[in-house]
Structure 1
């Protein structure tokens, strides 16, 4: 059994074959699909997918850093209100993105901190978007870290030292996706040093499809390609990778015992 811990399956790219795509994932052994929110505009479609596939599709709630502007109070208030309903399995995706624009860094940092604190209050994991911003992102997580905080650094592509720094937080894992299949990414080499014991699998569908589908639409059924490459890089079997990453995902997304 596999778990796709990060997939935007509500995206318009799946409009024509969404049901078939979910079925392909199940047939490929990918039994759980976790859906990160982006902003207000993605909520309705994401919730509908989670309702259509109970026990398979699991929705998160958060405000993506690329949706952060100079004025975020209303958007964050909506996130806080929806998290309070108890319908969501994680706070995500949240974090810092400096790839496209550094204009709103301070606002991204503030929104990130606020959402981390809600996660701690609600005993929910966080799903971190960290693009061209490892230093800024890990600094906040280290400052906010506590026994109540756990999460995943989604789409990890960093160095062995960065991986060790994440693992040292105690409650965090590395989200490994299609990038590990790209020959020039360096991620296979990193994982050969780090090992798979603190990893979960993800697609980030419809983005970042693994080889042999690179450049095409990604989907959750492609998780086995990612697992195979992680197995090759770390000297483990695919079955071992499935067992390790699924157990890590189950721990990560385990719901609070006092949740009603």
Structure 2
């Protein structure tokens, strides 16, 4: 059986509370052996940690503060993140970044929180998992400014241009491709063929952004092979190649996790 990795899924979300075992059983059936879980803020930590404890080695936690949770009191949220990073190992600092889609009132605070968490990642020698929505230029600029040989990571839910992917590649980062890759109106059919397979990892962002033919429904990690099939189609190769390369990339990104 082919092996896949979901590099980004919020499976601790309330939408999975009634059938998480079934969800993970379907993952196993589809060859999705590891699921990396990004944190949002203090409200998501307990559920994420409990799931990691129940399914050790399969559900793997990150620690970070999501940009949409950056408000006036973001220093308190960051204190919790730093406290957790100092007392145990995580796969990455994430989900961090910038989001200007809903509101730009806290854009300055988001940028400050992003910079702080990047420096923590460098201190603890962890990759970063970046959320960027309507904010790519500021996000990549900050990464370029703070980049050194120790900083690695992924721009999750990539929906940018081929030129954006090149800038990401130039700092040694990966792009996370998920359900949006299957949406006709996303026009990723002209972008993904230009992205080298060495730069791609797979993700679902569950429970959001389910791929076609499940669009509009709850997403789940067992749908990773659907995304892999679409990427194989774009690259005119076989799914086995996509599975092998993206799994290797994910393991390289997250090292020992």
TM range (shorter): over 0.9
Select which of 99, 108, 111 maps to 2:113. 111
1:43 aligns with 2:28: no
What is the TM-score normalised by the length of structure 2?
Answer: 0.98
**Distance in 2 of aligned mates of 1:245 and 1:203:** 13
Q: How many residues matched? A: 255
Unpaired stretches in structure 1, ≥5 consecutive residues: none
**How do 1:128-143 residues align onto structure 2 when only pairs under 5 Å count?**
128-143=130-145
Unpaired stretches in structure 2, ≥5 consecutive residues: none
Give the deviation of 1:255 after TM superposition. Answer: 3.8
- Partner in structure 1 of residue 215 of structure 2: 214
What is the TM-score normalised by the length of structure 1?
Answer: 0.96
Give the deviation of 1:197 after TM superposition. Answer: 2.1
**How do 1:1-260 residues align onto structure 2 when only pairs under 5 Å count?**
1-170=3-172, 172-255=173-256
**Distance in 2 of aligned mates of 1:109 and 1:236:** 39
Kindly provide the CA deviation profile for residues 215-255 of structure 1, in whole angstroms up to 9, marking residues without a partner as x: 00000000000000000001121000001100000010014
Greater helix proportion: 2
Give the deviation of 1:59 after TM superposition. Answer: 0.2
Give the deviation of 1:23 after TM superposition. Answer: 1.1
Kindly provide the CA deviation profile for residues 45-93 of structure 1, in whole angstroms up to 9, marking residues without a partner as x: 0000000111101000000000001221111011001011223111000
**Distance in 1 of aligned mates of 2:36 and 2:166:** 25
Asked if 2 retains the 8 angstrom alpha-carbon contact of 1:195 and 1:234, the reply is: no
What's the C-alpha RMSD, in Å, of the aligned pairs? Answer: 1.0
